[in-house]
């Protein structure tokens, strides 16, 4: 890996997001001295490629973090709750993609374009927000700074890759089965996902909202530092492989024109404006997949409420929504001299 750089682990390396974390580390030329690829014992014997060299996948154990500077976790909440504190206790900074620590008051929840000033390496764990939250706050940050957002109503249309490799394969198999007139196999989702959609992401809570919906509510408030911000979310799973889409409606404290919003977003880091509907130009998942920016279009006034705006926001959920944001947090730590 070279003499300069940092010893980095990817936990959950064989999963869809873990694979992509390895790729993004290479794409963005993160200064890796040594890389350690960790997963469950089921993955022993596998190898993964980083910078043209094959590395064996090692079993995740309690002593896996000795000598490491940084660990990117994408292995689920139960794994993170057990192993992230162990890594942090050994001086390894953890950037965790699960929901395990996001709402812990002492643990920063970071989107670098939005709240970079909140980053800290104490207590050794940094949380990566939910994929649907990340793209929304990236798009809304410039508007919030300019006109203060009072209320958000969001409906998401979320790709199956947000659930993982098994869900991607289930959609592929169901599409094939439908075309061939064969029996449908359903294992990952509660309903057929091919040629269908359903408003069920995560368990339903006593308040009638799903876990995914409340993640968006609570994480948005924490990231913006606005605990009283009114947020209402409806999250929907759709038969798309990569790329979450969101219909976002906001109400601001002061009036702001569509033209001003377009100008703000055009200058905002990590945002691309694609907004010419008469010519069929607006963000769509199939064109956004594989890209790191958040794309915004269909920006328009909402005449039903004072200072209302509506827009359409699309991003690749496993890049900016997961792997890329995690690596960007690592880059932010480097830039701030925190690692």
| pLDDT per residue as tens digits for the range 48-64 | 999 999 999 999 999 99
Closest CA to 14 of 180, 164, 182: 164
Which residues lie below 8 Å from residue 330, measured CB to CB, with a gap of 6+? 30, 70, 72, 95, 339
Range of the domain at 240: 133-317
Residue 70 banded pLDDT, cuts 50, 70, 90: very high
Tell me, what's the pLDDT at 2? 42
| Beta pairing, strands 93-96 & 70-73 | parallel
In DSSP notation, 145-210 reads HHH-EEEEEEEEEE-GGGT-HHHHHHHHHHHHHHHHTPPPP-SSSSS--TT--BS--SPBPTTS-B
Residue 1 lies in a domain: no
**214 shares a domain with 96:** no
The CATH number of the domain holding residue 73 is 3.40.50.720
| Beta pairing, strands 53-59 & 47-50 | antiparallel
**251 shares a domain with 154:** yes
Q: For 281, how many CA atoms within 13 A lie in the half-sphere containing its CB?
A: 6
Burial class (CB in 10 A: 0-12, 13-18, 19+), 25: buried
**298 shares a domain with 326:** no
Residue 179 lies in a domain: yes
Phi, psi of 284 (to 5 degrees): -135, 145
Q: Is residue 291 over pLDDT 80?
A: yes
Tell me, what's the pLDDT at 45? 87
Both ends of the chain: CA-CA distance in Å? Answer: 18
Tell me, what's the pLDDT at 246? 98
**306 shares a domain with 183:** yes
Q: Is 57 left (phi over 0), alpha (psi -120 to 50) or beta?
A: beta
Tell me, what's the pLDDT at 43? 87
**203 shares a domain with 292:** yes
Beta carbons of 316 and 291 less than 8 angstroms apart: yes
**227 shares a domain with 115:** no
The CATH number of the domain holding residue 206 is 3.30.360.10
Angstrom distance (rounded) from CA 164 to CA 249: 28
* Strands (E) located in the chain: 6-11, 32-39, 47-50, 53-59, 70-73, 93-96, 125-127, 149-158, 230-237, 244-252, 271-273, 294-302, 308-315
Closest CA to 87 of 43, 38, 41, 18: 38
| pLDDT per residue as tens digits for the range 178-192 | 999 999 899 999 999
Please give the tally of structural domains in the chain: 2
Q: Is residue 89 over pLDDT 70?
A: yes
Angstrom distance (rounded) from CA 111 to CA 166: 27
Angstrom distance (rounded) from CA 205 to CA 196: 23
Report helix, strand and coil shares of the chain as percent, to nearest 5. 35, 25, 40
Q: Is residue 237 over pLDDT 60?
A: yes
Which residues lie below 8 Å from residue 294, measured CB to CB, with a gap of 6+? 134, 135, 138, 139, 270, 271, 272, 313, 314, 315, 320
Q: DSSP class of residue 128?
A: P
- Catalytic residue, chosen from 69, 92, 144, 244, is 244
92 has catalytic annotation: no
Burial class (CB in 10 A: 0-12, 13-18, 19+), 291: middle
Angstrom distance (rounded) from CA 132 to CA 161: 12
**258 shares a domain with 144:** yes
Q: What average pLDDT does the structure give for the chain?
A: 96
Burial class (CB in 10 A: 0-12, 13-18, 19+), 9: buried
| pLDDT per residue as tens digits for the range 118-174 | 999 888 999 999 999 999 999 999 999 999 999 999 999 999 999 999 999 999 999
| pLDDT per residue as tens digits for the range 190-231 | 999 999 999 999 999 999 999 999 999 999 999 999 999 999
**201 shares a domain with 238:** yes
Residue 3 banded pLDDT, cuts 50, 70, 90: low
Closest CA to 180 of 201, 163, 194: 194
- Catalytic residue, chosen from 131, 144, 197, 200, is 131
232 has catalytic annotation: no
Tell me, what's the pLDDT at 1? 41
């Amino acid at each position: 890996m070279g003499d300069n750089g940092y010893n980095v682990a990817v936990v959950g390396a064989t999963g869809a997001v873990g694979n992509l974390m390895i790729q993004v580390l290479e794409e963005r030329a993160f200064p890796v001295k040594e890389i350690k690829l960790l997963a469950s014992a089921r993955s022993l014997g596998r190898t993964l490629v980083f910078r043209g060299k094959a590395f064996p996948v090692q079993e995740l154990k309690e002593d896996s973090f000795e000598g490491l500077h940084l660990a990117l976790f994408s292995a689920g909440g139960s794994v993170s709750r057990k192993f992230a504190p162990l890594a942090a206790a050994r001086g390894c900074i953890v950037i965790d993609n699960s929901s395990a620590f996001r709402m812990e008051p002492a643990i920063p929840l970071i989107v670098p374009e939005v709240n970079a000033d909140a980053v800290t390496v104490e207590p050794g764990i940094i949380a990566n927000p939910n994929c649907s939250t990340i793209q929304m706050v990236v798009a809304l940050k410039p508007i919030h700074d300019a006109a203060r957002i009072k209320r958000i109503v969001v409906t998401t249309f979320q790709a199956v890759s947000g659930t993982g490799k098994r869900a991607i394969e289930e959609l592929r198999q169901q599409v094939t089965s439908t075309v061939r007139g064969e029996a449908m196999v359903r294992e990952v989702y509660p309903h057929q996902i091919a040629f269908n959609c359903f408003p069920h992401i995560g368990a339903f809570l006593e308040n009638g909202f799903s876990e995914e919906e409340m993640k968006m509510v609570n994480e948005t408030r924490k990231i913006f530092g606005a605990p009283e911000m009114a947020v209402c979310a409806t999250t929907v799973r759709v038969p798309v492989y990569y790329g979450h889409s969101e219909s976002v409606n906001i109400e601001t404290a002061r009036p702001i024109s569509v033209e001003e919003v377009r100008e703000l977003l055009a200058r905002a880091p990590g945002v691309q404006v694609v907004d010419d509907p008469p010519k069929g130009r607006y963000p769509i998942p199939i064109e956004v997949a594989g890209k790191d920016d958040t794309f915004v279009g269909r920006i328009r006034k909402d005449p039903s409420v004072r200072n209302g705006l509506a827009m359409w926001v699309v991003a690749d959920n496993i890049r900016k929504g997961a792997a890329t944001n995690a690596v960007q947090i690592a880059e932010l730590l480097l830039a701030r001299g925190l690692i």
